[in-house]
Structure 1
Amino acid sequence: MRQPNLSDVALFAAVVEAGGFRAAAQTRGMSASSLSDCVRRLEGDLGLRLLNRTTRSVTPTTAGERLLERLRPALEEIHAAFNDLDDESQRPVGTLKLNVPVPVARFVLPDLLSRFLKLYPAVNVEVVMDNTFIDVIAAGYDAGVRYEESLAKDMIAIPIGPRRQRFVAAAAPAYLDAHGTPRHPGELTGHQLLGHRFESGKLGVFEFEKDGRTLRVPPQGQLATSSHDLKTSAAINGLGIIYTFEDFLREPLADGRLTPILEDWWQSFDGPFLYYHGRRHMPSPLRAFVDFLKAEGREPA
């Protein structure tokens, strides 16, 4: 086997990604016949057929698929390295892929991304909302946003959003008139508690804190859901007591549709962190976003 030409390797990957020689040739600025010659030369160097060619389609062979699977991470690193050249001219280019929890997508990112994207018009951002604890890097994201207790130790973490947050407990005035107002978490027994069902199937527990003491109350009630909106609406409609992120309840608490309860037991916690792999090459859009957060006055964790 002769040592293959790296340019031919990249062109082979381009043909597979584009789904054919003609489409790949257009993006590469060369003729389809020249592109075909390069792939044939690569096949000759390797002594393997990499593509199945018909008049209607071009698809990788089993050997081609295996090769492309091994090549893709290296080609992405090369692409990212060229993207980084734009950093030197202050023009990051490319797509930033983020995996974030629902509260962060709703209450933290809108203002931040609005200002960030205006600063970097050549950057695109893709945001997927996900509350589960997944390996976001292995899943193909550039970075994730999570809370401190779920951060992997080998990640670099940058504070993003408010540095302190809290859960608040509340219920509709009509519910409290009918069932009474609990003054202590121990009095929640017998109340309708609106539960949060995680994507994993686990039911969240109401966790209260005061003077270093923690009380955990498993929710029991007619409704459990993964939807914050549904749970909030249920509380407003008098179906039970809700305990969730303060941001979800700001408006109904402010206009009186919900009444706060157990205020001296509300649990507070550190705000979210943007995290990414410190040993990976950093794409220019991610580097720009990290620098943007630091410029906001936040320090690395």
Structure 2
Amino acid sequence: MIGQLDDLATFVAIVEAGGFRDAARASGVSASGLSEAMRRLETRLGVRLLNRTTRSVTPTEAGQKFYESLRPALGEVSRAVDTVNNFRDRPAGTLRLNVPANVARTVLAPIIVSFLKEYPEIRIEVTAEDSFIDMVGGGYDAGIRYDERLEQDMIALPIGPRTQRILVVGTPGYFAEHGRPGHPRDLLRHRCLCGRFAGGGLATWEFEKDGEIVRIDPDGPLISQPGSASDLLIQAAVGGLGLLAMFEDWMRAELDSGVLEPVLEDWCPAFTGPFLYYAGRHYLPAPLRAFVDFVKRQT
């Protein structure tokens, strides 16, 4: 029975990963092992579940229907198995988190290190992405987002620093050559290093002072996704290529050393830090329950 459940879970993992290679990387099982599990499952059911080509792996019509029914059922099985954790001395299992890139880099790392040292039998899988996602539908136990991006009907728990800032920075050499902006609209005359959202749109730079809100669509020689290529943008700013708007924490070393200097600080107010959020249900998987309790102790 356990072997059959493993084969079912393998099928779900392959569909969600979009192929054997990525599923193998996520599960730690070889691609050939996953292929053998799928052969057993399709033979047992007498139905082809996956269409395989050299370029892609997609579910057949039967496979898609099977996946849609199987995914929530496996979730129930996982929760049932997890109840055994209530009888263990220490919780065990996997905690799946979806977080923005800046949270993974500056907020989550020290928390996870301390947590895993306290709970060595728990494994954490972190997916870093900045787009808005269906946390439950995506198979995650919890997510971390800022308050304007939280899903409805979720429990939200503060995690990490309670205030953060985005600063506009440049090098002393850049300011010596091009001058310092005194107002956000002055940025329209400067070379700016721009961020692009995962959906394709350019990030607007927003400023606020004394109730006045100013939004700027920056322009400049470099455009990149700030989450996945933040180091590229920071190094471009350090090289004097232009001005950059970035999380203050990401640039702490450059700011402390004076390599980068902030401007328009009075137009860059602090905002509320991130929240851990999860479905509001009475039963929590043991790894999530342990993580929630751990975060509460840190605040």
The normalised TM-score by structure 2 is 0.78
**1:157 CA drift (Å):** 0.9
Aligned equivalents of 2:189 and 2:168: distance in 1? 16
CA contact (8 A) 1:146 1:272 kept: yes
Q: CA RMSD in A?
A: 2.6
Please give the alpha-carbon distance, in whole angstroms, between the structure 1 residues aligned to 2:202 and 2:107: 25
User: 2:114 corresponds to which letter in structure 1?
Assistant: R
1:282 aligned counterpart, secondary structure: coil
**Deviation, structure 1 residue 249:** 1.4
Shift of 1:186: 2.1
Does residue 197 (structure 1) correspond to residue 199 (structure 2)? The answer is no
Specify which of 237, 244, 249 is matched with residue 247 of structure 1.
249
Distance 1:281 1:64, change over 3 A: farther
Matches within 5 A, 1:139-154: 139-154=138-153
Among 263, 266, 290, the alignment partner of 2:265 is 263
Q: 1:168, 1:263 within 8 Å by CA — same for their partners in 2? A: yes
The one-letter amino acid paired with 2:72 is: P
- Distance in 1 (CA, whole Å) between partners of 2:172 and 2:108 is 32
Q: Which moved more, 1:10-19 or 1:263-272?
A: 10-19
Matched ranges for 1:79-158 at <5 A? 79-158=78-157
Where does residue 295 of structure 1 map in the other structure?
Answer: 297
Instruction: Give the total of aligned pairs.
Output: 255
Distance 1:158 1:240, change over 3 A: same
| 1:177 positional shift | 0.7
Contact 1:144/1:276 (CA < 8 Å) preserved in 2? yes
Question: Alignment partner of 1:267: what SS?
Answer: coil
Unmatched 5+ residue regions in structure 2?
12-39, 49-58
Instruction: Give the C-alpha shift of residue 76 in structure 1.
Output: 2.5
Question: Following TM superposition, by how much is the alpha carbon of 1:70 offset from its aligned partner in structure 2, in angstroms?
Answer: 1.7
Which protein has the larger Cα radius of gyration, Structure 1 or Structure 2?
A: 1
List per-residue Cα deviations over 1:257-280 (Å, max 9, x = no partner).
111111111132110011111148
Q: 1:218 to 1:110 in 2, by over 3 A?
A: same
TM-score normalised by length of structure 1: 0.77
Corresponding position of 1:170: 169
**Match of 2:288, SS?**
helix
Contact 1:81 1:283 in 2 (8 A): no
Output the CA distance in 2 between the equivalents of 1:252 and 1:288: 36
Are the structure 2 counterparts of residues 50 and 66 from structure 1 closer, same or farther at C-alpha, using a change threshold of 3 Å?
farther
User: Would you say the 8 A contact 1:51–1:61 is kept in 2?
Assistant: no
In structure 1, the partner of 2:160 is 161
Is 1:218 aligned to 2:207, yes or no? no
Q: Give the drift of 1:239.
A: 0.8
SS of equivalent residue, structure 2 residue 74: helix
